[in-house]
Amino acid sequence: PNTEIREGTQVEERTFVYLKPNTIQRQLVGEVIRRFERRGLKIVGMKMLWMSKEQAVELYKEHIGKDFYEPLIKFVTSGPVVAMVLEGPHAIELVRHTIGNTDPLKASGGTIRGDYAISVRKNIVHASDSLESATREISLFFKAEELFDYPLLLEEHF
């Protein structure tokens, strides 16, 4: 799917997204997923899971040693999350724009973080930031048979 074409020139990509534990606690799951759906992204995989310490360490290995690392690992393993794989043209960059800046102080209104987050750590949602991380993160949380190839009947209207 990362190399398929939807409209001739657009690159079809898959990206990994998960709603952080505070989003489940704040009962914002529907709100957040709704924004991805409205954008025109296709949900090709989705599940609730409680991240293991090992998964969290692997996911955030680039941040090992930073001051926010230990509290981050503790936070993301503190309760269940909702993980998904979203597909669409330029999905990786598109989703990053949709969620907004990591720091809610810098996130524009209209983005998910800009509208719902007040803390950097508890910034509602994670999304892959490159093709390499998307591929790595999807395989860390999803088996091939948990991802679905299907047409969205309204695709031509997006």
Asked if 126 interacts with ligand UDP (CB under 6 A), we say: yes
- The two structure tokens encoding residue 10: 């657009």
Per rule CB under 6 A, count of chain residues that contact ligand UDP: 8
Of 11, 46, 120, 140, which one interacts with ligand UDP (CB under 6 A)? 120
Distance CA 100, CA 86 (A): 16
Name 116's Cβ contacts closer than 8 Å, sequence gap at least 6: 23, 26, 28, 31, 32, 124
Is 68 annotated in a binding site? The answer is yes
Q: Return the number of the residue (6 or 121) whose C-beta is nearest ligand UDP.
A: 121
Q: Return the number of the residue (44 or 107) whose C-beta is nearest ligand UDP.
A: 107
User: Is-catalytic flag, 126?
Assistant: yes
Q: How many CB atoms lie within 10 A of CB 114?
A: 16
Asked if 123 interacts with ligand UDP (CB under 6 A), we say: yes
Asked if 26 interacts with ligand UDP (CB under 6 A), we say: no
Only segment of 10-18, 87-95, 116-124, 143-151 that touches ligand UDP (CB under 6 A): 116-124
3-class SS of residue 115: helix
| Buried/exposed code over 59-91 (b: 16+ C-beta within 10 A; e: otherwise) | bbeeeeeeeeeeebbebbbeeebbbbbbbbbeb
Pick from 9, 20, 16: which is nearest to 91 by CA?
16
Of 77, 129, 135, 152, which one interacts with ligand UDP (CB under 6 A)? 129
Q: Which of 63, 90, 97, 126 is catalytic?
A: 126
Q: How far apart are the first and last CA of the chain?
A: 18
User: Which residues from 50-109 bind ligand UDP, rule CB under 6 A?
Assistant: 68, 72, 102
Q: Which residues here bind ligand UDP, judged by CB under 6 A?
A: 68, 72, 102, 120-121, 123, 126, 129
Question: Residues with catalytic annotation?
Answer: 126
